[in-house]
Structure 1
Amino acid sequence: MSKSSKSKADKQMEAQLAQFCGVTGASVKDAKKFLEKYKRVDIAVDAFFNDPTPPRGGHQSSNAPSTSKLNALFETYKDPDGDQITVDGTMKLCEDLGVELEDVVLLAIAYELKSPGVGQWNKAGWTDGWKGLGCDSITTMKPVISRLRDKLGADATYFQQVYNYTFDFARSEGQRSIAIDVAQAFWGLLLPHGLSGGALSHIHSTDDDEDDDMGAEEGWKEEYMQWWFDYLTERGGKGVSKDTWMMFLEFVRTIDARFENYDAEGSWPSSIDDFVEYAKERLAKEA
């Protein structure tokens, strides 16, 4: 074997070692063992995660996440011609994490990592975000992602933080609103998750002059999401404004199932005013 071919082989092995260590958090020694046995990085990584007796000794993870490991992991997914992780890298990341591209938890991750847009991850946000979550490898990220998904569904404050962030995340650069179909896609991810998990539990009406127990008041129903989408489509328009996006969340949490507690004199966007009339007409037709 020539010196040049040796050098090329060495560089290839170094790249494979860096990729394996970045994804798994394993030591170089353990990485060499798996790569020598399985030859391909993807097969070796799968074998590492499926190994019932993970290697001991050698590299030991400290309690504090490693910046160098996160940087190496970032390089694994980064666009080779740029300085960000883009769509292709995001698809590979999701594959390694076992997360579908349409999983709502990606919005929580985007919030935590300060993603500038769909399928985009900057190195600073990536490193600081994962360190803040206590992760520096795919292995440690997986359980954290599961906890984030549960938190997003159950924690009203956290849900609102992610929901508010999603508007700017989804908005195209230079635009003040987001396209209706894009807004519908993100509403379709977020709202069912918050409703089923309890983060969007109905806020009951109160009436100090009545002795009636308002605790049984029924709130927003699942089918009303499609009504909202139908209304937006029929109304037309260029997009959904930030005001409508933000206020719609409060509307969903507070409106009753018959739309009777809606305050038309309140500071609601006109789009929500009109939707209430639209919804009442549909209810009347179904009665």
Structure 2
Amino acid sequence: MSTEEDLIKGFVELTNCRRESARSYLQDNNWNINYALNEFYDKEGSFTHDREPEQKIYPKDLIDLFEKYADPATADGTRVITFEGMIQFIGDLGLSLEDDLMTIVLAKLLSWKKMTDPITSEAFLSTWFMQGCSHIKEMKIFLAELDHRLYHDPTYFVEIYNYTFNLILDEKAKQLDTNTAIEYWKIFLLQPKEPAPIQIELDMVSMWLNFLQAEKKDLISADCWQMIMQFFQRYPTFQDLATNYDETAAWPYIIDEFYEYLEDEGKI
């Protein structure tokens, strides 16, 4: 993983800003260089006013890799990786779009907001350049480090979980289809390839999925998606829930309904 000093150095090379500014942007964005770069360019444009812009030089092997997956250039010369190219890239990395959380980790790494969005050359090249990767083999090694982190760092696990909602949301939709949400809850909590770093009684999760289907809940809001994970973290077992649940707390109404459902089912 890149150290803070590596990230500062890379940020300066990419933006031509001062070290103090680079550190500030990175700290404000929890040392995520992609988010920090986005904020920098939004606020200050492609380069700072006190220094001349420099041509960014990326390794030829990395550029060739981008071009392997990119669509032909548009009329203005722009090249991007569309969904089809990303499918090929994901496959070459040994990942599966349908059932591998590492695909979501990769999407977040590349600041991929929606699966239908294209990946620009700058997003692809700057991301992998910062990680010191120019070949598929190197990228696999780096992603293996993130894979380990995903299943051993609860904070990172929840970060990836929260990020998933907008990534899998249908175009122009504001709420997630319940069947889709259920499939991802299974991947995150019931059927991960390694035990999740958040310890939750699996029957609690199963009852949540049963509740959604029994009560015919068709859509899941972003608030529900995030808060149910907080609910499971606070009450990881039925015993915790029966003993400590505060009915006056500001949970979404659907979670209060779930609590009542568990009472009716004799679980608490």
Query: Same fold by TM (over 0.5)?
Result: yes
Tell me the CA shift for residue 122 of structure 1: 0.9
Partner of 1:167: 165
Runs of 4+ in 1 over 6 A off after TM superposition: none
Q: Distance in 2 between matches of 1:272 and 1:67?
A: 51
In the alignment, what sits opposite 2:112?
Answer: 115
Q: Identify which range, 247-256 or 188-197, moves more after superposition.
A: 188-197
- Show the counterpart of 1:76: 68
- AA aligned opposite 2:253: S
1:278 to 1:72, Cα distance in 2 relative to 1, 3 A? same
Contact 2:58 2:125 in 1 (8 A): no
- The one-letter amino acid paired with 1:70 is L
Shift in Å, 1:170: 1.5
Within 5 Å, give how 1:200-211 maps onto structure 2.
200-201=198-199
Match of 1:188 in 2: 186
* 1:66-124: CA deviation from partner (whole Å, max 9, x where unpaired): 45433321221124487443343233223322222321111111111111222655123
**Counterpart check, 1:95 vs 2:91:** yes
- Map Cα deviations across residues 214-249 of structure 1 (whole Å, 9 max, x no partner): xxxxxx311332321221122224411111111111
Q: Residue 195 of structure 2 aligns to which amino acid in structure 1?
A: S
> Are the structure 2 counterparts of residues 100 and 172 from structure 1 closer, same or farther at C-alpha, using a change threshold of 3 Å?
closer
Aligned equivalents of 2:263 and 2:80: distance in 1? 48
- 2:262 maps to 1:279: yes
In the alignment, structure 2 segments of 5+ residues that lack a partner are 1-56
The corresponding residue for 1:228 is: 208
Describe the SS at the equivalent of 1:157: helix
Distance in 2, Cα, partners of 1:280 & 1:128: 52
Closer, same or farther in 2 for the Cα pair 1:276/1:91, shift >3 Å? Answer: same
Name the aligned partner's letter for residue 112 of structure 1: L
The whole-number CA distance in structure 2 between the counterparts of 1:281 and 1:125 is 50
Percentage of identical aligned residues: 27
Distance 1:195 1:277 in 2: 31
Question: Please, which moves more after superposition, 165-174 or 127-136?
Answer: 127-136
1:106 aligns with: 103
**Structure 1 residues 71, 187: CA separation in 2 closer, same or farther (over 3 Å shift)?**
farther
Partner of 1:143: 141
With normalisation by structure 1, the TM-score equals 0.62
AA at the equivalent of 1:196: P
Number of the residue aligned with 2:153 = 155
Cross-structure match for 2:226: 246
The alpha-carbon distance between structure 1 residues 189 and 79, as it changes in their structure 2 partners (threshold 3 A), is farther
Q: How many pairs are equivalent?
A: 202
* Matching of residues 19-58 of structure 1 within 5 Å: none
The 1-side partners of 2:222 and 2:132 are apart by 32
SS in 2 for 1:154: coil
Give the conservation status (yes or no) of the 8 Å contact 1:179–1:240. Answer: yes
Contact 1:66 1:136 survives alignment (8 Å): no
Q: Which 5+ residue runs of structure 1 have no aligned equivalent?
A: 1-64, 202-219
Residues 244 and 79 of structure 1: CA distance in aligned 2, closer, same or farther (over 3 Å): same
Q: Distance in 1 between matches of 2:93 and 2:181?
A: 26
Of the three residues 58, 82, 85, the one matched with 1:86 is 82
Asked whether the equivalents of residues 204 and 237 of structure 2 are also in contact (C-alpha less than 8 Å), the reply is: no
Contact 1:113 1:121 in 2 (8 A): no
Alignment check: 8 A CA contact 1:85 1:119 kept? no
Whether the 8 Å contact between 2:178 and 2:220 is mirrored in structure 1 is: yes
Corresponding residue number in structure 1 for 2:252: 269
